[in-house]
Amino acid sequence: MQAFFLRRAIKQSCEGQGYRVNFSKGIHVGCGMIDGEAICEPYYIAIELRSDGDYVSRGLGQLLEALAHGYNQASSKTVLPFNVKCTGFMSIL
């Protein structure tokens, strides 16, 4: 359920900046699969959503695969439990 709200927040934020956002069931990129993409010609940004139970290395590998297949930027967004005080943003440029 947290991923739903994270997708919605990312979509609203990116669309406010003029990007088209696509969160389909999974976007195949080479041997990997990313969760979403933000497009504003000529820029393509790969988005990987990570829950607190996912492996960090798996998500980074998928983002590196996306960069190798033509995406300009890659971004990993994570949801942290409510008892953690910091925000969960990590971006790879």
What's this model's pTM, rounded to 2 decimal places?
0.74
Residue 55 amino acid letter: Y
Mean pLDDT of 11-23: 87
pLDDT in tens, 38-63: 888 888 888 888 777 777 888 888 88
Tell me if 71 sits within 8 A of 44, measured CB to CB.
yes
Provide the pLDDT for residue 86: 47
Give how far Cα 84 sits from Cα of 14, 21, 79, Å: 25, 28, 10
* Confidence label for 5 from pLDDT (cuts 50, 70 and 90): confident
Number of domains in the chain: 1
Which domain CATH number covers 33?
A: 3.40.1350.10
Alpha helical stretches, state H, 1-93: 2-16, 56-68
Residue 89 amino acid letter: F
Show the domain range for 18.
2-92
Tell me if 65 sits within 8 A of 30, measured CB to CB.
yes
For residue 62, count other CB atoms closer than 10 A to its CB: 22
Provide the pLDDT for residue 34: 84
Provide the pLDDT for residue 82: 57
* Integer Cα distance of 65 and 57 in angstroms: 12
